[in-house]
């Protein structure tokens, strides 16, 4: 095969053959196909698309680039959740222990944030002592003992995706549905979960701004799961405004613990329970009700054991920011819109996220909201609280929030639930 022929085929809107796909993914992973060639191919795919069988083969080739984990020795069924990424999306933190409390093993192999969406591992690292890196043997032992693991995906899973994602990130080729779907599903299928629930987000804070695009991404991923024999379902959920009242690291851990303690913002509780119900059903245990396991404290027990198993102290105080700055409501009225992307960018600029891979994040950085769309506010009341250890970051965070909210006389037209569809 020749890389230029493969690029030209997709440029000219032809289907790539299975052999071409296997070759180009493998040759790129081994360094035989050059990054400039793969970026040209990624752009051709972004512009001209791939059909279902091409995407399925591309996904299989990325899985074949690395190891596959195997959870078949566990005494319980496995289920995992993947979110396409949002602002304030701490759902994995309460969800994994909740589903484990229902008798399902939850292998939640996660990533770090890059850009305006936070990373689950960055959030959990706000807990003193907690460590993200576990060996495969430790993952299996913890799944058997505790039932839930949230840890870093090892470099052995789908290395082709790791390399390709980094290239897409710097070549304007992230936003291609075939590439996003195969990227996400190759990692989840290689991880070896028995069933998978996808939380596909739509709105300003999501990759997919429109519900129609999010629906297409969800359908593509569900089909890939089916092709690979992994029972997969998807929920479509709203990401026009942040989830809950916090976006950042320690602040999101604290809010997750509130949910596990039976409180917390209603949208976070609702989405956690909705996803838990899907995971429990996908794993064949529709007889158990996650709402009960949340209410009676079983999910909190699993959380404490899960954090302790990874070296964390569930009772330790979380890091507090050195500086805070409060943005006040400029007028009386009803908060109509609070833009998810703007809040995500503000949290990121405060130090909750990184602008280069490998950069340190601040555990205490983030945003705390004092009102959500639909709430009545009074002029001069606190609206948005900014947290950071480095106050020179306040100005750029405030700039991100300019024009990010409306306060009006009338109640806004809001979705009835954070879950928009299934």
CA torsion sign for 135, 136, 137, 141 is positive
Q: Order of strands across the sheet with 333-338?
A: 376-377, 333-338, 405-408
Which of 180, 228, 363, 367 is close enough to bind ligand URA by CB under 6 A? 180
Q: Nearer Cβ to ligand URA, position 44 or 179?
A: 179
CA distance 9 to 110: 35
Task: Find residue 385's DSSP bridge partners.
Answer: 326, 368
As given in the structure block, the two tokens for residue 334 are: 């009803």
Rounded to a whole number of angstroms, the minimum distance from the CB of residue 82 to ligand URA is: 8
Q: Which stretch binds ligand URA (CB under 6 A): 17-25, 89-97, 179-187, 269-277?
A: 179-187
The catalytically annotated residue of 89, 122, 161, 199 is 161
**22 given a catalytic annotation:** no
Residue nearest to ligand URA (CB): 183
Rounded to a whole number of angstroms, the minimum distance from the CB of residue 340 to ligand URA is: 16
Q: Nearer Cβ to ligand URA, position 158 or 327?
A: 158
Cβ-contact 405, 346 below 8 angstroms = no
| Binding to ligand URA, residues 146-165 (CB under 6 A) | 165
Is residue 183 at the binding interface for ligand URA, with CB under 6 A as the rule?
yes
Rounded to a whole number of angstroms, the minimum distance from the CB of residue 177 to ligand URA is: 10
**187 given a catalytic annotation:** yes
Q: What is the Cα 278 distance to its own chain's centre?
A: 17
Q: Nearer Cβ to ligand URA, position 189 or 250?
A: 189
The catalytically annotated residue of 76, 123, 168, 201 is 168
Is residue 369 at the binding interface for ligand URA, with CB under 6 A as the rule?
no
CA distance 189 to 196: 9
**161 given a catalytic annotation:** yes
Q: What is the three-class DSSP state of 253?
A: helix
**332 given a catalytic annotation:** no
CA distance 341 to 368: 15
As given in the structure block, the two tokens for residue 20 are: 């071409």
The beta strand positions in 329-404, using DSSP E, are: 333-338, 366-369, 376-377, 382-388
Rounded to a whole number of angstroms, the minimum distance from the CB of residue 354 to ligand URA is: 16
CA torsion sign for 131, 135, 136, 141 is negative
Q: Nearer Cβ to ligand URA, position 166 or 399?
A: 166
Q: What is the set of active-site residues?
A: 82, 161, 168, 183, 187
The residues binding ligand URA (CB under 6 A) are 165, 174, 179-180, 183-184
């Amino acid at each position: 095969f020749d890389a230029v022929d493969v690029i030209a085929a997709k440029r000219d809107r032809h289907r790539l053959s299975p052999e071409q796909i296997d070759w180009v993914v493998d040759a790129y992973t081994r360094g035989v196909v050059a990054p400039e060639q793969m970026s040209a191919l990624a752009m051709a795919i972004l512009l001209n698309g791939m059909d279902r069988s091409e995407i399925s083969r591309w996904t299989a080739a990325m899985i074949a680039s690395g190891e596959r984990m195997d959870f078949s020795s566990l005494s319980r069924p496995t289920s995992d959740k993947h979110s396409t990424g949002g602002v304030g999306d701490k759902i994995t933190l309460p969800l994994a222990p909740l589903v484990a409390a229902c008798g399902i093993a939850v292998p939640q192999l996660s990533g770090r944030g890059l850009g305006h969406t936070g990373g689950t591992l960055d959030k959990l690292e706000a807990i003193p002592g907690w460590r993200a890196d576990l060996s495969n043997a430790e993952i299996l032992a913890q799944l058997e003992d505790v039932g839930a693991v949230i840890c870093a995906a090892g470099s052995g899973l789908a290395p082709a995706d790791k390399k390709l994602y980094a290239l897409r990130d710097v070549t304007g080729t992230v936003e291609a549905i075939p590439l996003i779907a195969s990227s996400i599903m190759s990692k989840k299928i290689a991880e070896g979960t028995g069933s998978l629930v996808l939380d596909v987000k739509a709105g300003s804070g999501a990759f997919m701004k429109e519900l129609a695009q999010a629906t297409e991404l969800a359908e593509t991923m569900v089909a890939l799961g089916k092709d690979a024999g992994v029972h997969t379902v998807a929920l479509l959920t709203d990401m026009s405004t942040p989830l809950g009242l916090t976006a950042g690291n320690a602040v999101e851990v604290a809010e997750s613990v509130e949910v596990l303690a039976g409180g917390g913002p209603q949208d976070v509780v609702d989405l956690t329970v909705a996803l838990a119900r899907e995971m429990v059903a996908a794993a064949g245990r529709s007889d158990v009700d996650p709402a009960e396991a949340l209410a009676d404290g079983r999910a909190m027990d699993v959380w404490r054991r899960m954090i302790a198993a990874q070296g964390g102290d569930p009772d330790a105080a979380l890091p507090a920011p050195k500086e805070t700055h409060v943005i006040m409501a400029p007028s009386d009225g009803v908060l109509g819109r609070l833009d998810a992307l703007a809040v995500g960018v503000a949290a990121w600029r405060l130090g909750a996220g990184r602008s280069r891979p490998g950069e340190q994040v601040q555990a205490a950085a983030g945003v705390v909201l004092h009102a959500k769309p639909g709430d009545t506010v009074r002029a001069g009341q606190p609206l948005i609280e900014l947290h950071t250890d480095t106050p020179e970051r306040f100005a750029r965070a405030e700039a991100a929030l300019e024009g990010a909210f409306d306060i009006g006389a009338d109640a806004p037209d809001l979705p009835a639930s954070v879950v928009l569809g299934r």
